Structure 1
Amino acid sequence: MRKHILVPTDFSENAWSAALYALKLYANTPCTFYFSHAFTFLNTGTRTQVPQSQIDPLVEKEKEQLIEVMNRAKKESTNSDHEFDTIFSFGSLMDSIKLANKKYKIDLVVMGTKGATGAKKILLGSNAVAVINKVRRAPLLLVPSKCKYKAPKKILFPSAFTRFFGEEIQSIKELAELHNSSIDVLHINAKETLSDIQNANLDMLKNYLEGLELNFNWRTDYKTKAYAITDFIKENNSNILTMINYEHSFIENLVKEPVIKRLGFNSKIPFMIIPRKK
């Protein structure tokens, strides 16, 4: 089945790194890649004072840049079943993503995000935070700056087993099947036993992922889930982190922090955030 992948770009190297990762991740899959860019004024208060004669050249320049990015991606692709298109819009990044989702039924949004230096620190850009908070239709893949592609043979999936698993688990299953990956299921809890509800959800997860290589891991000696995940990634050479974005979840708490703060979370590997299906 053909995948429809949206790659928003601001023409930075960070955005290009994300595009390259997407091309290689789906190198053997029929895909249509949509490169999108939203034209907007940084200072919207001055918008009405700028004559159209000055705006038009800026718009044309950015349209040309968008086409250049698409053509650059075409050259990098090694699959004749890859197709490419551009989406140029006016307004915010979120507006452009919503437009693409509505028109093209996007399966995955791929964006770059700049990581901070330090063993357990990250700075999520304001755009990444906004998309995490607002995009609820398609999974979001955040690719760290200068991240070099490595096939995701080891997928990390933290879970508390407190929620009923639904369609959203299909995204993890498809990714594992695509690259013949193992899945490390990580449970972080101070308690040494699971409740009846947690055990029932765990059994459900096993049934959904039957036939795949599953490894179950338990971490109890961490003050924060962020540190537990960070250390697990380092110790086990995880290639990609996947999480389901439930309401009132760990992800929601993470992105509520001011973006200028260091968030005790490591983003050296891509992070796939899967929206909860209602």
Structure 2
Amino acid sequence: MKRHILLPTDFSDNSWSATVYALKLYANEPCTFYFLNSVNIKVSKLSNLSNKLLKIMREDAKTELKDLKALAETSTANPNHDFKTILSSEDLLSAVKNAVKKWQIDLIVMGTKGATGAKEFFFGSNTVRVINSFRNCPVLIVPEEYDFITPKQIAFPTDYNRFYGMDEIEPLTKLADLHDSKIRIVHINEKEELSDIQEYNLMILQSHLNNHDYSLHWMPKYDKKTAEINDFIEELDIDMLAMVNYKQSFIEKIVNEPIIKKIGFKPTIPFLVIPE
């Protein structure tokens, strides 16, 4: 079955890194990759300058999308990789939403920040907006200048306080299936024993992962969850981080925290955000 992968691009090095990662991640899979660029400025009906500028921007974007498609075609050895381009005049969020629906997108792959990304921000504003807005399509975020490493170990942090349905776990298991990855479930140990609810949620999670290579890990409680997860990534040589984005989740907290607190969690590995 062919996969449909959306690649939002602003033609920055970071978005190209995300593209390269996607091509290598799905190197042996039949896929259609969609390059999406959004050209959106507020145009006054009375402003000829605005209209001319928009026309120039659209022509430039069309040329860059064509060049990007040609570059991607020469960067893959898989004859079952197809590439399409989408040039939208909508804002990025609307453009992505419409593309996901129209082309039945399975996964959005994007960089941590774009051409104008400030160094101190761990995610660019567009990345944060996509994370917060999508509840029907997983998003894979690729760190800046990240060199592809086969994701043999995928970490899935959880406190077991939440029940996960099979549909929420499926994006994780599908990625694990690509390269026979091991799934490392990491629980931050806040109490000595799990409650009855936590035990039940753990049992259900294990049933979802029954046909996959997984293991359970306990981490001591730190003052900062970011420190716990970063330590776990280092200790077990984790190649990808996966989390479900739900209300009060770790993801929601880090994208809404003040920037000073965010600095403690710069993604050093690809980060799969699974919608609730």
**Fold match (TM-score > 0.5):** yes
Contact 1:254 1:263 in 2 (8 A): no
CA contact (8 A) 1:242 1:273 kept: yes
Q: 1:62-87: CA deviations, max 9, x gaps?
A: 11101111111111111111111011
Q: How many residues align?
A: 271
C-alpha separation between the residues in 2 aligned to 1:142 and 1:48? 40
Describe the superposition over 1:203-258 as per-residue Cα deviations: whole angstroms up to 9, x where unpaired. Answer: 11111111322121111231121110011111211000000111221111111124
Q: Distance between the aligned counterparts of 1:186 and 1:11, measured in 2?
A: 36
Q: Which residue of 2 aligns with 1:217?
A: 217
Amino acid at match of 1:186: V
Aligned-partner residue type, residue 182 of structure 1 = K
- Structure 2 counterpart of 1:110: 109
Question: 1:1-278 counterparts in 2 under 5 A?
Answer: 1-41=1-41, 44=42, 49=47, 50-114=49-113, 123-166=122-165, 167-258=167-258, 262-276=262-276
Q: Unpaired runs of 5+ in structure 1?
A: none
Separation in structure 2 between the aligned mates of residue 261 and residue 191 of structure 1, nearest angstrom = 25
Q: 1:249 to 1:54 in 2, by over 3 A?
A: closer
- Using the alignment, how far apart are the partners of 1:261 and 1:173 within structure 2? 31
8 Å contact from structure 2 (residues 161, 201) kept in 1: yes
Partners of 1:48 and 1:261 lie apart in 2 by: 45
Distance, in Å, in 2 between the alignment partners of 1:47 and 1:126 is 29
Give the letter aligned to residue 217 of structure 1.
H
Confirm or deny: 8 A CA contact 1:161 1:201 kept in the other structure: yes
SS of the aligned residue for 1:149 comes to coil
Alignment partner of 2:135: what SS? coil
8 A Cα contact 2:43 2:50, kept in partner: no
Q: CA deviation at 1:151?
A: 0.6
The whole-number CA distance in structure 2 between the counterparts of 1:83 and 1:257 is: 39
> Using the alignment, how far apart are the partners of 2:6 and 2:247 within structure 1?
24
1:191–1:220 CA contact under 8 A, matched in 2: no
Q: 1:73 to 1:47 in 2, by over 3 A?
A: farther
Separation of aligned partners in 1, 2:245 and 2:66: 33
- Aligned residue identity for 1:31: C
- Cα distance, 1:174 vs. partner? 1.3
Q: Normalization by structure 2: what TM-score? A: 0.92
Give the drift of 1:21: 0.2
Which sections of structure 2, spanning at least 5 residues, go unmatched?
none
Partner SS state of residue 106, structure 1: coil
> Structure 1 stretches (4+) deviating beyond 3 angstroms?
44-48, 114-117, 258-263
Q: 2: distance between equivalents of 1:55 and 1:123?
A: 30
